[in-house]
Amino acid sequence: MADTAQLTEACPIAEVLDHVAGKWSIGVLVAAAHGPVRFTELEREVAGISRRMLTLTLRKLERDGLLVRTVYPTVPPKVEYSLTDMARELYTSLTGLLGWAERHRGDIARARAAYDAAG
Amino acid sequence: MADTAQLTEACPIAEVLDHVAGKWSIGVLVAAAHGPVRFTELEREVAGISRRMLTLTLRKLERDGLLVRTVYPTVPPKVEYSLTDMARELYTSLTGLLGWAERHRGDIARARAAYDAAG
DNA sequence: CAGTATCCGTCATGATACTG
DNA sequence: CAGTATCATGACGGATACTG
C-alpha cells in the first residue's frame, strides 16, 4: 500500500474512494441511508452479500466514521446502524456521479460493444 | 460478478465506480487529463505503476469509452491517449467527491484514531 | 517506444460451521 | 439476532524477460 500512498499524494480523490471502493461499501451505505437499520435487514437488502462481508464492510465504514453502530443490550441482541452527517454529505456528492452514470450508461455500453467487436 | 450485477441493479453508483475503482484508474485518468499523453509519460507520471498495470488500465478505460488511443505509424512507434468528453464530465463530477474528501480528511483520521484506540 | 508473455505471491471474497 | 472462526480459491497486482 506504499504505492497507494504515493497515488493518494498525487490524487486525493483516490483517498476518498478508498472509503467507498470496497465491493460492498456503497451498497451498504445506500441500504443504511433510509434510517437506522439492523444487521439482518442489511443482509436482506444488500443483494448477494455474505454475513462475513457485511460484518467487515460495516466495521470499515464504522472505523472511517461513516456509520454509527448502536447496541441495545437486550435478548435477543439488537444492533442498529445509521449514517453519520459526514456520510450523508458523501452520499450527496455521490449523486453527481449517479447523474453521470445515468447519462452515460448507454454510451459506455456502446463503447464496450464497439471495442469488443473490433478486438 | 453476478452479485455485482445485482448490486448494480440496486445501486447504479456502484456501476460507475466499476469504471474507476481499479487501483490505478483514477491516477491514469488524472495524468491523462492535461492533454494527449504518451505511454512512457504516463509510466513516469503515475507513481509506482508497472508497465503491465498501465497497459491493463489503459485498455479498460479505452474499452469503457473514457480514453481514446491514437497510434501514429512511425518508427519508433508513438501512441497518445486522451480523455473523451464523457471522461471529462466524469472528472468534473469527481471534484464533488474531492471537495468532500478535503473537508473531511481530518474527521476521518480522527474517527479512525478513536476507533483504533477503543478497539 | 510501446507494448506482450509468463510466473508467482498476496489479498479479498466466498462457503461453511460455530457462538454469546 | 448478530455476529466470529476457519479454510479454500480466484482475481489482482508485481517482477522479469521478450518483441514488432
A50 in reach of chain B (CB within 8 A): no
**Residue B12: predicted pLDDT:** 62
Chain segment A9-22, per-residue pLDDT in tens: 456 667 777 778 78
Query: Is 0.95 surpassed by the pTM of this model?
Result: no
What's the CATH number for A2-118?
Answer: 1.10.10.10
Domain positions in chain A:
2-118
* Region at A35 (left for phi over 0; alpha for psi -120 to 50; beta for the rest): left
Footprint of strand D on the protein (CB under 7 A): A 3, 38-41, 51-52, 55, 58-59, 69, 76-80; B 22-24, 48-53, 56, 76-77
Query: What cell numbers appear for B75 in the block?
Result: 518508427
In chain A, how long is the greatest CA-to-CA distance? Answer: 61
Closest Cβ–Cβ partner in B6, B30, B65 for A11 = B30
A88 in reach of chain B (CB within 8 A): no
Indicate which of A8, A16, A58 best probes the interface with B, i.e. most B CBs within 10 Å of its own CB: A16
How many Å apart are B56 CA and D16 C1'? 17
Chain segment B30-63, per-residue pLDDT in tens: 999 998 999 999 999 999 999 999 999 999 999 9
Q: Tell me the H-state helices in chain A.
A: 2-10, 12-18, 25-33, 39-45, 51-63, 85-118
Query: What cell numbers appear for A74 in the block?
Result: 437486550
